[in-house]
Amino acid sequence: MTTRIRADHVLGFDEATGDHRLLGRAEVVVDGSLITAVGPVGSEATGDEVVDLGNALLLPGLIDLDAVADIDHALLDSWSSAEHSRGFSWSADYAESGPRAVFTAEERRTIRRFALAQLLCHGITTCLPIASEVHSDWAESFDDLVALAEEAEVLGIRLVAGPSYRSGVGVVDSQGRRSVNWRPDRGRSGFDGALRFLNWVDARQSGLISGALVPCRIETLDDALLRDTAQAGRDLGVVVRLHALQGLEERDRLAERSSETPLQMMDRLDVLGPNLLIPHAIYLDGRPDVDARDRANGVVPIGEPEVGLRLLAENGVSIVHCPLTSLRYGVALESFARFRDAGIRIALGTDSFPPDLVRGIDVGHNVAKLVDGRLDAAGIDDYLRAATLRGADALGRSDLGRVAAGAQADLVAFGFDDFRDGVLDDPVRTLVMNGTARGARFSMVAGRTVMRDGALPGVDLAALREEAQRLFARLRTAYSGRDAWHRTPEELFPATFP
């Protein structure tokens, strides 16, 4: 039996141009896990299931390559002064005394279920998750990722994943000085667990789960672990996601080890390549504030910004742009157009709650106007490609990110029936400018309906939210135990108004 999914607006794929094409009233025919046809609404054959979404935009399932797999922490740490927020990191004393996991293994599984459900409810069908290590005893484990993968299979979301690992952790002492507490043995153990998970994925033979290498931030990885990660990624044919070019503090920590910029270090250690994903990429060499910090650290800048852009482009590196989260922390990509025009692949991520790529696209293309000083700096079309086609390309998956015969039946539909959506013009532009991803009414992954009318089959969202709220309260309280100044949660996270 085939399924015919109909909508008033369908974002199909034009093989001739290699780009999306907007169709009027149309249908997508699904057989098994694949799309078999896209075109005008026809007369269904006997036995076909028909899903008519009416006044909606049906498009490829969204791809989030820095997807939060945790309880939200931006509620806590994205609004205070730099001095106040130093206490959000581990204190040096806490790291030395023996860090402790805030949650049990089963509670971590519940948190992952909550996060994956949130992704599906926001129209994301493929994710490469990220979770904060701040409330762990070091980083993620093999068992954590097995639990995540099992939850993904139950919910039906497509997962690209691996456990995080690191050789050191950023700490702050009671004088406010930052450094890295090094534990190379724990980094090597985490890497071994990551390789073990890749073997587990291969043995699992799941159509939904793919392995990746997901080391933590570049300043928390020693040279040997970084080099071995890159080599393993090439040997095993998996993507490597490495948070880098993310902040000025990153450059301070690297300068303590080597008189190199992050790009120079990645180049020396053979990290750069077509399987590398770099989230954020905000602090690229050549920015005045970046070069000033490098010189202060005794590091010779790499040169003009175009030098760094060219190095990324020549090595086929992808960046994962997280516009909404970046703006929350007071930074912006400089700029989407410069990276795009340099030939660098740009994918999208959410990185914090809400996992709303529609809001992210809106914020991103508007910030691009401000950064470049013109209204057409980076269009909604550029950003939607980043959330679909470019994300698929970054994963090496030409069968994702497009609505075309032969592609995976990964689909999402956003409705326009809410009075608050306003009037309808171009459906893509109207969705981004007038709506949010909370307008998702239907999602399908590999031919399986995983969300319908905002509900996930078999999932009690109200109960899951209640449990997440209870765990968030514990997460919030636990910051006090790591704070270098032993402040209470009320002192760390004061209310907006007394």
pLDDT of amino acid 44: 72
Which of the 8 DSSP states describes residue 43?
A: P
19/123 same-domain check:
no
105/49 same-domain check:
no
Could you tell me which of 277, 187, 193 has the C-alpha nearest to residue 239? 277
Per DSSP (E only), the strands in 231-349 are: 240-241, 276-279, 318-321, 345-348
145/163 same-domain check:
yes
Please report whether residue 460 resides in a domain: no
The last residue of a domain, from among 436, 452, 468: 452
30/98 same-domain check:
no
256/281 same-domain check:
yes
Q: State the CATH number of the domain containing residue 356.
A: 3.20.20.140
The last residue of a domain, from among 419, 437, 452: 452
CB 243 within 8 A of CB 197: no
For the chain, how many structural domains are there in total?
2
Q: Classify each residue of 345-371 as buried b or exposed e, where b means 16 or more C-beta atoms within 10 Å of its C-beta.
A: bbbbbbbbbbbbbbbbbbbbbbbbeeb
Please report whether residue 485 resides in a domain: no
Please report whether residue 321 resides in a domain: yes
> What is the distance between the alpha carbons of residues 444 and 418, in angstroms, rounded to a whole number?
22
CB 254 within 8 A of CB 219: yes
CB 180 within 8 A of CB 171: yes
Strands 124-130 and 62-68: parallel
Please report whether residue 28 resides in a domain: yes
CB 313 within 8 A of CB 344: yes
Residue 283 φ/ψ, nearest 5 degrees: -95, 70
21/79 same-domain check:
no
Please report whether residue 492 resides in a domain: no
Note down the domain range covering 37.
3-59+408-452
106/219 same-domain check:
yes
168/284 same-domain check:
yes
pLDDT of amino acid 305: 67
Question: Torsion over CA of 129, 135, 141 and 147, rounded to 10 degrees?
Answer: -60
Q: Specify the amino acid at residue 193.
A: G
Please report whether residue 337 resides in a domain: yes
Per-residue confidence of the chain (498 residues) as pLDDT tens digits? 799 999 999 999 999 999 999 999 999 999 999 999 999 998 777 678 999 999 999 999 999 999 999 988 888 888 888 888 887 889 999 999 989 999 999 999 999 999 999 999 999 999 999 998 899 999 999 999 999 999 999 999 999 999 999 999 999 988 889 999 999 999 999 999 999 999 999 999 999 999 999 999 999 999 999 999 999 999 999 999 999 999 999 999 999 988 889 999 999 999 999 999 999 999 988 888 888 899 999 998 877 767 889 999 999 999 999 999 999 999 999 999 999 999 999 999 999 999 999 999 999 999 999 999 999 999 999 999 999 999 999 999 999 999 999 999 999 999 999 999 999 999 999 999 999 999 999 999 999 999 999 899 999 999 999 999 999 999 999 999 999 999 999 999 999 998
206/310 same-domain check:
yes
Please report whether residue 315 resides in a domain: yes
53/138 same-domain check:
no
341/441 same-domain check:
no
The last residue of a domain, from among 452, 468, 485: 452
Please report whether residue 457 resides in a domain: no
85/133 same-domain check:
yes
